[in-house]
Structure 1
Amino acid sequence: MSRSGVRNLLKRKLSKPQAGGVSKPLVGGLLIVLILLGFVLWASTRSARAPGVDPERPGVGISNQQIARIEERQQAADSVIDYQRIDRRLQALIAEESMVGLAVGIVENGQIRFLKGYGVTAAGTDDQVGVQTLFRWASVSKGVAGDMVSKLADEGKLSVYEPIAKYSPWIRLPGGIEQRATVADVLSHSLGLAGHAYDNKLEEGADPRFLRGQLSTLNLICPPGQCHAYQNVAYDGASDVVEKITGMPYPQAIAERIFGPLGMTSANMSRQGLVTAASWARPHAGGKHSKPVEVTEPYYRVPSAGGVNSTIKDLAIWMQAQMGLAPDVLSPRALEAVQSPRVSTPGELGRMRKFRERLSSASYGMGWRIYNYAGHKVVGHRGGVRGYRSLVMFDPALKSGVVALWNSSTNQPGGLEFEVMDMLYRLEPRDWLGVDGRATPEQPAPEAVGNGAMGAD
């Protein structure tokens, strides 16, 4: 029943003459009308929050109709991003020999204003990358685990400062320190282990839960919480935490508690979910003249460390949620917990030395990197697994940022994040993408993993 219908019904009930005071039927009728009115108001509120319905409302999502008219959003009076320049530079990038396919999304002032695919899903074909093409996120997936654990903590179901041993029956650390190392230490890569512990064994097919038990045979490089060393096997202890608290497999818990409510309909965590999609990008170890390589399985078996697949549209929605635009799903307190520095990452400054002109500090929260770029706090992550690369970077205060997915092993597109940030901050442009025909320092590679062929950054 519409609002006007409820009002008419209420009017008829109230105007009906009564003798001897208010009758019980009238009271009952009024109660029913009030219940109906409350239901209509609730339903209308729910509808207003549905992803992509109202382009002006604060929130996440974008409808197919809005994607078709996305250039209208780029003309907004509050826009400072030159989308035409971005498009021209991405056209130049995709022409590089090292590129095969690429998808890019930009959020400005909380609104998705750019979604576009470039190149092809497989070298030697004319199958174009589009906004509905699936790619792998690789280690950008780590932010999902950080958010989910923080969400559960915000709901009072655990504390990230409790020992990881309380929630993970599998993880064993040197000297029994799993009884002291916290959930936050796992999510900030500060367990005290050497970097990428047992990634090589994971890639050889070993069971990740078995490997988490074998971590006890290694030597510590520092006490828990005192230094940062990137992990995948140990990081997937987050899956154990989520499964114990929710009683569901990790992918199911994420689908029901995060992806579903956000309207991320393409996001999944399996090899099958990637290769059966109507459009999916094949991985390439080389560029335009290479052949696709096999979609590898190991990092799907540590889903919190590197298991997510999605379209660029859903990755853009994910970034919107990190900006606080979906508080019913991810509360401000949960986001603050994951986006606050917990451990310094000086090695990251070394890897990002190309950008040191404006990049002054780097640290790690829980599944997220935090930088000071030209005096602004920016949050993000990069990812790399065999044949795929990914990035997300945003300014949480400006609710603006960029996401990208591509299906080759070049790191050149990584400069895009800083070209977008420079526009946001009205800084003098730099050729961070390296497409101006001049010699440009190589982009920082994802952190080396195992044998270097198929790891998740």
Structure 2
Amino acid sequence: MHRFPTLLALATALLPLLTFAASTPLPAERIAYLDQQVDAAAARYHLPGMAVGVIDNGQIVYTRTLGERVVGSGEKIDGDTLFKIASLSKAMTTALLGRLVDEGKLDWDDKVTKYLPGFKMYEPKVTKQMRVADLLTHSSGLRYGSGDLMLWPDPNDFTRADIIHALRYFPPAYRFRTEYHYDNLLYVVAGELAAKAGGASYETLMHREVFAPLGLNRCQVGRWDRDAIGNVAEPHGYIDGHNQVIRADGPVIPASAADPAGGIRCSLDDMLRWAQNWLAPTPAQLHWLSAKQRKVLQSPHIKIPVPALARVWSGTTRRDYGYGWRMNDVDGQWAVWHTGTLSGMYAELWLLPDARSGFVLLINGNGGQARTVLGETLKKFFTQPSNTQGVAGYGDKLDTIIANAPTRRNDPNLPDSAAMPPVSAAAMAGQLGIYRDPWLGQVSICARDGFVHFASEKSPRLAGVVVHDGDRDLVRWDDRSVDPDAWLDFHQGNPIQLTMAKLDPYGDASSDFEDLHFVRERGCE
């Protein structure tokens, strides 16, 4: 029978009175095993760089960094190298909110409109009922990925005010508080709500209330100088048989509307300190965030369907979401965790609260499969120490699953946008013009340099040449890290309307072209 503990409720209450013994150092053969698995993952998945840390009984017992911040640069990754932690940012945002609850500046059951009077969802009754807590559990009624084109690809010019205003345009996909569908927009709202309750910007509060008290000295959010901070990993894609930097940083990293949902960067050493704060908090850390709020954040609040892979590989029978944390049983033990994914960056933080153990995994390349396989290997290191399938075994299993899945690479009928001919301006004369969507804003579809170009006013990377396939037009993005390409479907009338759809129906849900509905406003200038 699986145990589902109350996540340190008793242990954290007693921590000020206890002194934990240091963990026994890992035997040399166990360290060698971890080294072998990290090396195997890096080689199998052609990773430019990676940082891994393991905690046992509250103590850091293993760290490993390898590869380069920028491939070919000779700049080695170390424990201070900054990675995009993507959605691991969400738990930091909820910890900030928990601090504000401890300080009496807000309550989880407060209505969102108390702090943000202009906040509106599509349905007035949901607007009226939406609590602070409801922003955090992915059960608002929004479809998976709704509005993410205002966050990514980055950088872009959307503000948090734009995002809050846009929420009124998304019809619900299901009833409020009844289902789990992952969304990012409401974490952006949560960040702005924290700013209103805390009396300073989200970025200022994060530095002051989270990074500084916990000694997360390298973590960055908001606007910062890349070269002054230094030691920053760039995202990579594995393209044409080798790693290439994609979406490279400029000399100044801008503040982003997406910061509360996925915009924080931290080092391995920072993330291990962050993990220790949850696994074996000191009296000072319990003063920073109370045992009560820790329990709230890491307790189940909405059920998540259990993926087939988790059932088969880990015997998982239950999965839930807390506030910025996922949780489920793994081989009979209770785990609290989250992953982070941005183009060219993958992260995972995984905790076993009862054992005060876990791991951190940061990758600066196209590492989705690597994270799955190495993550499973590191889980078994704790939950099934005798399991030696490792990266090779789980990698082979994942290859078989992918080969049999209905994905783009296995669909012979999916057209290749690179082989599609450009559309002539004459052929599209009746559709050229300036179009507007209620939430994405203005795009232009106009002739330039002998081609028809699609360009978003507020999202510069959403730009490309219009090509043709049979009886449909498609925009092929200039920046090939923007994926998938998107169909353009024009609907004749007065005015002409335009809808879009992913070329690859299994593509990233954050490319939510299906939520767009453009109306032509005028001709090209």
Indicate whether the TM-score tops 0.5. Answer: yes
Does the CA-based 8 Å contact 2:137-2:322 persist in structure 1?
Answer: yes
Higher strand share: 2
2:215 counterpart of 1:234: no
* Alignment equivalent of 1:175, drawn from 100, 115, 123: 123
Does the CA-based 8 Å contact 2:91-2:325 persist in structure 1?
Answer: yes
Deviation at 1:432, TM superposition (A): 5.3
2:172 counterpart of 1:220: yes
What is aligned with 1:160? 108
Pair 1:439–1:416, CA change in 2 (3 A): closer
| CA deviation profile, 1:379-400 (whole Å, cap 9, x unmatched) | 0000111111100000111110
Moved more, 297-306 or 136-145: 297-306
| CA deviation profile, 1:29-62 (whole Å, cap 9, x unmatched) | xxxxxxxxxxxxxxxxxxxxxxxxxxx9769xxx
2:291 counterpart of 1:339: no
| CA deviation profile, 1:160-180 (whole Å, cap 9, x unmatched) | 122222223453101222220
SS at match of 2:186: coil
* Alignment equivalent of 2:273, drawn from 307, 312, 317: 317
Moved more, 291-300 or 118-127: 291-300
How many residues are treated as equivalent by the alignment? 382
Counterpart CA distance in 2 for 1:235 and 1:354 is 29
Deviation at 1:188, TM superposition (A): 0.9
Deviation at 1:81, TM superposition (A): 9.6
* Alignment equivalent of 2:317, drawn from 339, 360, 368: 360
Pair 1:447–1:235, CA change in 2 (3 A): farther
Does the CA-based 8 Å contact 2:87-2:341 persist in structure 1?
Answer: yes
What is aligned with 1:28? none
* Alignment equivalent of 2:335, drawn from 378, 389, 396: 378
How many percent of aligned residue pairs carry the same amino acid? 23
Does the CA-based 8 Å contact 1:274-1:280 persist in structure 2?
Answer: yes
What is aligned with 1:407? 364
Pair 1:227–1:397, CA change in 2 (3 A): same
Pair 1:387–1:241, CA change in 2 (3 A): same
Moved more, 264-273 or 131-140: 264-273
Does the CA-based 8 Å contact 1:391-1:403 persist in structure 2?
Answer: yes
Question: Within 5 A, what are the aligned runs for 1:383-402?
Answer: 383-402=340-359
Structure 1 stretches of 5 or more lacking a match? 1-55, 60-72
Does the CA-based 8 Å contact 1:190-1:226 persist in structure 2?
Answer: yes
What is aligned with 2:39? 91
2:58 counterpart of 1:110: yes
Counterpart CA distance in 2 for 1:97 and 1:401 is 23
Does the CA-based 8 Å contact 2:41-2:374 persist in structure 1?
Answer: no
Pair 1:391–1:333, CA change in 2 (3 A): same
Does the CA-based 8 Å contact 1:360-1:372 persist in structure 2?
Answer: yes
Pair 1:181–1:356, CA change in 2 (3 A): farther
Counterpart CA distance in 2 for 1:275 and 1:452 is 34
Deviation at 1:75, TM superposition (A): 5.1
TM-score normalized by the length of structure 2:
0.66
Pair 1:118–1:191, CA change in 2 (3 A): same
What is aligned with 1:260? 212
Does the CA-based 8 Å contact 1:192-1:224 persist in structure 2?
Answer: yes
Pair 1:262–1:213, CA change in 2 (3 A): same
Which amino acid counterpart does residue 372 of structure 1 have in structure 2? Answer: D
Structure of greater Rg: 1
Counterpart CA distance in 1 for 2:245 and 2:223 is 15
Pair 1:342–1:124, CA change in 2 (3 A): same
2:152 counterpart of 1:199: no
What is aligned with 1:304? 260
TM-score normalized by the length of structure 1:
0.76
Deviation at 1:319, TM superposition (A): 0.9
What is aligned with 2:454? none
What is aligned with 2:4? none
Higher helix share: 1
Counterpart CA distance in 1 for 2:307 and 2:274 is 26
Does the CA-based 8 Å contact 1:92-1:435 persist in structure 2?
Answer: no
Does the CA-based 8 Å contact 1:190-1:227 persist in structure 2?
Answer: yes
Pair 1:208–1:168, CA change in 2 (3 A): same
Does the CA-based 8 Å contact 2:345-2:363 persist in structure 1?
Answer: yes
